[in-house]
Chains A and B, each alone.
Chain A
Amino acid sequence: MKAVYFAWVRERIGATDEEIFPPETVRTVADLIGWLSAKGENYAYAFENAKTIRAAIDRTHVKHDAAIAGAREIAFFPPMTGG
């Protein structure tokens, strides 16, 4: 699946998007945040305060307990500041 990052999550990770291949044990958004955080210091920094991170699966907002099975694109970003 494709992971996409925005705003300071993107800056801290140092990438706009990437293909990721999490193991089957990674079942929810929260699991995926934990798995990504272990990939490196930049990821750990981006997700250090996991509760503030928002996620979207295939362009729809989801909560951290959402299942990621079947997702094509998962986005991580800070709380939105548009308007």
Chain B
Amino acid sequence: MGVDRRAHGFPSDARGGKPGTCNVRVQSEPFDVAVESAHLTAGRTDIGAIVTFTGLCRDEGGTLATLELEHYPGMAEEEISRVAQEALDRWPLMGLTAIHRYGKIAPGEPIVLVVTISAHRAAAFAAAEFLMDFLKTRAPFWKKERRVDGSSGDWVAARDDDDAAAERWSEG
């Protein structure tokens, strides 16, 4: 059995086909994963893989009442678009959607969505992970916790391992 290198998520010059569509949104309202997936694949029969990642708000052991996500209007959209363009340049994607919410978010609600489509799964998997790693470290959003005991809680601290996850994409 031969190995199809196109299916391994390596950077490729072989774009082929239609240019990738790129949907980036920053919004306060929730999103529907199924609707976004259907929108990205509508009318196409050339897609072999669709990867969706949804980040949810955790309740932190029942202590978290809500998260308040502050963002930098304008830059948030622009920075996510820059990361999205890098993903489109790096992998043979047929399209992607990236949505990030701001404002008050309750435990169990979705915060962020990444959808990637490609002919083969590896590019879609790799690009989705790349997008999330860079959304976490470059998109201008900040989480503040509100506790169920009424205390205001703290700003969530950035994690070193998020930086490390983003760093590894620049190796080699």
Produce 1/0 per residue, A69-83, CB < 8 A to B: 000000101111111
Contacting pair B142 A81 (CB below 8 A): yes
A6 within 8 A of B: yes
Checking A7, A61, A82 against B155 with a beta-carbon cut-off of 8 angstroms, the contacting residue is A7
Contacting pair A81 B155 (CB below 8 A): yes
A8 within 8 A of B: yes
Interface size on A, residues (CB 8 A): 16
A59 within 8 A of B: yes
Enumerate A26-83 residues with CB–CB distance to B below 8 Å: 56, 59-61, 75, 77-83
A15 to chain B, nearest CB (A): 14
B100 within 8 A of A: yes
C-alpha gap A7/B75 in the complex (Å): 15
Contacts of A56 in B (CB 8 A): 72, 75, 140
Checking A75, A77, A78, A83 against B136 with a beta-carbon cut-off of 8 angstroms, the contacting residue is A83
Known contacts A7-B155, A59-B78, A61-B79: A82-B143 contact under CB 8 Å: yes
C-alpha gap A56/B74 in the complex (Å): 12
C-alpha gap A61/B82 in the complex (Å): 11
A35 to chain B, nearest CB (A): 22
A63 to chain B, nearest CB (A): 13
Q: Which of B71, B135, B142, B158 has the most CB of A within 10 A?
A: B142
Contacts of B139 in A (CB 8 A): 80, 82-83
Contacting pair A83 B55 (CB below 8 A): yes
Between A and B, 10 residue pairs with Cβ closer than 8 Å are A7-B144, A56-B75, A56-B140, A60-B75, A75-B72, A80-B136, A81-B136, A81-B142, A83-B55, A83-B112
Contacting pair A79 B144 (CB below 8 A): no
Q: Which of A61, A75, A77, A79 has the most CB of B within 10 A?
A: A79
B134 to chain A, nearest CB (A): 9
Q: A79-B137, A80-B136, A83-B132 are in contact. List 20 more A-B contacts (CB 8 A).
A: A7-B142, A7-B144, A56-B72, A59-B72, A59-B74, A59-B79, A60-B78, A75-B72, A75-B75, A75-B140, A80-B158, A81-B156, A82-B71, A82-B135, A82-B139, A82-B143, A83-B55, A83-B112, A83-B139, A83-B141
